[in-house]
């Protein structure tokens, strides 16, 4: 399967714990994005990378959140000191090309985070 892969698919943790999610993009894609989706809403942008450079972060990404893409391939999203409001589906997407090229983003199946 050459699509976007996310692990784990589900994560249940207690409030206050740290969690880390992984995303493996489509191999030839240089851009990688993180989104968050809650019930009844569309995905909301969190941050994105071009290769290993983090180019933009949403104000939704509080200082408890950190994302990395150390070698320009896979990415991790870490949430420290989780709160109830962090419960959501975390989606990763990737795309090729530059900011001016009309290449769509392709999404993984997400990691569902549940905070007890």
- Residues found in the chain: 116
- Report in angstroms how near the CB of residue 69 gets to another protein at its nearest: 15
Provide the token pair at 88: 């959501």
Q: Which stretch binds another protein (CB under 8 A): 13-21, 44-52, 64-72, 75-83?
A: 44-52
- Taking the least distance from each CB to another protein, the nearer of 14 and 39 is 39
81: alpha, beta or left? (left if phi > 0; alpha if psi -120 to 50): left
- Report in angstroms how near the CB of residue 6 gets to another protein at its nearest: 8
Q: Measure the CA angle with vertex 104, ends 101 and 105; round to 5°.
A: 120
Q: Which residues bind another protein (CB under 8 A)?
A: 4, 6, 31, 33, 35, 40-45, 48, 55-56, 58, 91, 93, 99-102, 104-110
């Amino acid at each position: 399967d050459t699509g976007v892969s996310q692990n784990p698919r589900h994560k249940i943790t207690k409030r206050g714990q740290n969690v880390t999610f992984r995303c493996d993009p489509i191999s030839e894609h240089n851009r990688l994005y993180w989104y968050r989706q809650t019930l009844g809403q569309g995905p909301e942008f969190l941050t994105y990378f071009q290769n290993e450079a983090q180019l933009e972060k949403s104000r939704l990404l509080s200082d408890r959140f950190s994302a990395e893409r150390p070698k320009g391939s896979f990415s991790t999203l870490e949430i420290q000191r989780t709160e109830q409001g962090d419960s959501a589906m975390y989606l990763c997407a990737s795309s090729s090309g530059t900011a001016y090229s009309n290449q769509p983003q392709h999404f993984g199946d997400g990691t569902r985070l549940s905070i007890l």
